[in-house]
A = this chain, B = another copy of it.
């Protein structure tokens, strides 16, 4: 450490939002170069390389072959797949001195597909799995949390190529199994959840989420069965349609000053009290207006009808309208649709067949026969007993309503959902034939007929894994690496000024290094006090800390401390190398 390119900081960096980010900067693992763009200092690079090595070993173990595509990519393949347009502002674009368009690759489906098309031509060549571990680029609107959502980051991305669906299932399973081994070895707590796959047009799709509070994703798990899903992917179980034979005719009522659900429920309770039960937001149908903005620059209004006790979940909505983005319906938008009575909008003014022509999608719970209180499209007026299927029909359904803890499990097994935060670390995904079709990847089958190849797509966020491991293991004192990814095996501290202490520590460092143990040796002299060295060791978070100090002269022992538990053992200085070898290579 007297020569290591490292400077630990006592203060948190001003721009750091989450604990792992603060500690990775303070402990000298990374430095910010620009928003969402980081430099890896020597300690950080060691952890990153160890994570990469684990990922590489497990990919090689399932026969996946490593190659490496450029990060700077020509526009053409992305044009063919339509992603040049779909990505919108989300990617970095540039042009070269001749004016040709390029992008910094956010993901490489197109390149993998074209490489296979270039090299392979027969079913005999399949199955194939190829991967790379490489820098990716995304121009995030809000880079955040240090390495957790960066703009330049390392991913392992692999793709499988199969002649048929059964092959894809097998390739998918091999990758899924490999991912379990990877995340087990990386040493953090994770959960495998169903993921939304609509955007890419594929079928089976699961995410590996780290269970950390700073996660950007919310996932739900059933209290009874093994159902677990990213909220984006939760499919609300639609109740069965009910008969409307007994339902009264819809009737519009004066409901002055009830532009919100709360005010409406209060008014209903007072003006139309029910014998059997109170009115709640769930009795009302709330219609939310948005503007969808497509990547090609066009935009269109969209109305979403959902039970009044639920909000639109932006992430769920985002997932289901991708690649379009959305923004709230503004004053100017209302002005363009005089038939919309703001605060009192009902299905009567919505739908492609209505006067406004605004596309109208409803929550899956709005099934035929359900009865609603909803806007009458007149300021200060609502309709009661409006029956879906009888009095109105939407243009379709959308999964945009929030999913709440306590909601029934979609498997309807009596369990309810619990919600937790998670951070996406890996994604396994049956991509299907979308890219193979767009880029015309066909091979000859057994009968000499050209068939389109089916693909799987599998990603691990390598940079993000470093941050997630840090986040999931840190404590009040600092970082606290699992042994598999720590920047060193042993942090050896020479604590004191005596030559004997340094001589003993030097010997231990040398013997450990000769045995192939990676030692971070705090050999700093001069004004660096033992206290500073202890604090640095705790901050840096190597799993085993060895202190050669006062006890050496008094009892001939050194202290071996487990960074995570804090447990200390006094070990004879002569025996400590053997002791450490047992610890490090059990």
Contact = CB atoms under 8 A, between A and B. Distances in A.
Interface of A: 3-7, 28, 31, 33-34, 37-42, 44-45, 48, 63, 65-74, 89, 92-94, 96-97, 100, 102, 104, 111, 115, 118-120, 124, 128, 130, 135, 137, 139, 141, 151-152, 526
A67 B40 contact: yes
Given A94-B94, A135-B135, A5 B72 contact: no
A5 B96 contact: no
Contacts of A39: 67-70, 111, 115
A44 B48 CA distance: 23
A70 B130 contact: no
B74 A33 contact: yes
Contacts of A67: 5, 39-42, 44-45
Contact of A135 (B71, B111, B141): B71
B40 A139 contact: no
Contacts of A45: 66-68
B115 A31 contact: yes
Nearest to A91: B97
B37 A97 contact: no
Contacts of A104: 72, 94
25 contacts: A3-B63, A3-B128, A4-B65, A5-B67, A5-B128, A7-B118, A31-B115, A33-B69, A33-B74, A34-B73, A34-B74, A37-B73, A37-B74, A39-B69, A40-B67, A40-B68, A41-B119, A42-B65, A44-B67, A48-B68, A72-B152, A93-B94, A96-B139, A97-B141, A124-B526
B70 A38 contact: yes
A73 B65 CA distance: 31
Most buried by B among A128, A135, A526: A135
A68 to B, nearest CB: 4
Nearest to A93: B94
Most buried by B among A5, A93, A135: A5
Given A40-B67, A72-B137, A118-B31, A94 B92 contact: yes
A92 B94 CA distance: 8
Nearest to A8: B119
A496 B74 CA distance: 44
A72 B31 CA distance: 14
Contacts of A97: 89, 139, 141
A152 B70 contact: yes
A74 B124 CA distance: 48
A28 to B, nearest CB: 8
Contacts of A152: 70-72
B34 A70 contact: yes
Contact of A120 (B7, B40, B130): B7
B5 A70 contact: no
Contacts of A41: 67, 115, 119
Contacts of A137: 72
A260 to B, nearest CB: 35
Given A6-B119, A39-B111, A72 B96 contact: no
Contacts of A33: 69-70, 73-74, 111
Contacts of A38: 70
A48 B33 CA distance: 27
Given A72-B152, A92-B94, A135-B135, A130 B34 contact: no
A4 to B, nearest CB: 7
Nearest to A119: B7
Contacts of A526: 124
A96 B74 CA distance: 18
A70 B37 CA distance: 7
Nearest to A104: B72
A130 B31 CA distance: 15
A66 B42 contact: yes
B111 A72 contact: no
